[in-house]
Amino acid sequence: MPSYTPVDFDYHSPTSIEETIELLSSKEEPVILAGGQSLMTLLKLRILRPKNVIDIGKIPSLRNVVEEEGELRIGATATHVTIASSPLIGSKCGLLSSSAKTVADVQVRNRGTIGGSVSLADPSANYLPVLAALDATIVVQGPRGTRKISSKDFFIDAYTTELAKDEVVKEVRIKYNKNMGYSFKKVVRREQEYAVVNVAAVVSLDEDGRIREAKVGVGGLSGKPIKIRELEETLVGKTAEAIESAVSSLDFKVRPISDVRATGDFRVYLARIYLKRALKEAYANARGAMV
């Protein structure tokens, strides 16, 4: 029976991040295997033909989710199901939990990891607009030490990141604010499909119900997730009534992706609709939190 099998490779399962980096530097054509939910398909279809596969799934410290110095620190191999169900993440950054809950399907969420998702940098990935909106930091480690890279600099284009060949993503760090309303919305044709467009919005209000701070991210529109600072600034001091016109007149300033899932124009059209819905929902949630 014909079956999809990866090409031959050497398999390594390091037990520490130092061993991983050593392998990355010394082995020919290596790839990192975390949850494998994207990598295995790329291997099976032989889109990737690595000589060495380095499985970081056996490094316990990489799976940790902790709170330190006022930020969430999520280990690279924390799975989507861990992120979706972690009470710590739920209470501190509901936006991230909410985006993790709708990554692909249950079986994929049981294996797939946040580190894998950011390393692959698929433009439609759920986490990307969230990380862009929240100005998350990606911590990477390599032979030259540790680097903390803002998501603005980390994501360069579709499947292209600042991560060097001999580096590995170690952690995702997110600073959060209490009492913020949030909303994550994803446009899909079918439940388990990749998003056409996805949006993340966070809003905090002052005592009078005016927007004190807004954070907005959009994914799937261009090769990398975008944070819309112009919109964030426009909304400060306003109420929910301002959302409609602010989003309608917004210039995304990107060349949208046109592909088999949607044309560029349709993506822009969808992004506007879902931005409005997400911002209104985030505003309503923030209001609810005040009462």
Partner 1 sequence: MKVIEQEQKAKVRYKINGQQYETEVEPRRLLVHVLRELGFTGVHIGCDTSHCGACTIIMDGKSVKSCTILGVEADGSEILTIEGLAQGEKLHPIQEAFWEKHGLQCGYCTPGMIMQSYWLLKNNPNPSEEEIKEGISGNLCRCTGYQNIIDAIKLAAERMKGQ
Q: How far is CA 1 from the centre of its chain?
A: 38
User: From residue 191 to residue 210, what is the string marking binding to partner 1 with x (rule CB under 8 A)?
Assistant: xx------------------
- Other residues' Cβ atoms within 10 Å of the Cβ of residue 186: 22
| Binding status of residue 111 toward partner 1 by CB under 8 A | yes
Closer to partner 1 by Cβ: residue 1 or 291? 1
- Min dist CB 39 to partner 1, Å, is 9
Token digits of residue 281? 């929902």
237: left (phi over 0), alpha (psi -120 to 50) or beta: left
The one segment of 9-17, 209-217, 258-266, 278-286 that binds partner 1 by CB under 8 A = 9-17
At residue 259, what is the residue type?
A: D
Find tokens 């295995």 and name the residue: 40
User: From residue 32 to residue 61, what is the string marking binding to partner 1 with x (rule CB under 8 A)?
Assistant: -x--xx--xx-xxx-------x-x-x----
| Binding status of residue 13 toward partner 1 by CB under 8 A | yes
- β-pairing, 168-175 vs 71-75, is antiparallel
- β-pairing, 181-187 vs 30-33, is unpaired
| Binding status of residue 104 toward partner 1 by CB under 8 A | yes
In the complex, the residues that contact partner 1 under the rule CB under 8 A are 1, 3-15, 19, 33, 36-37, 40-41, 43-45, 53, 55, 57, 81, 104-108, 110-111, 191-192
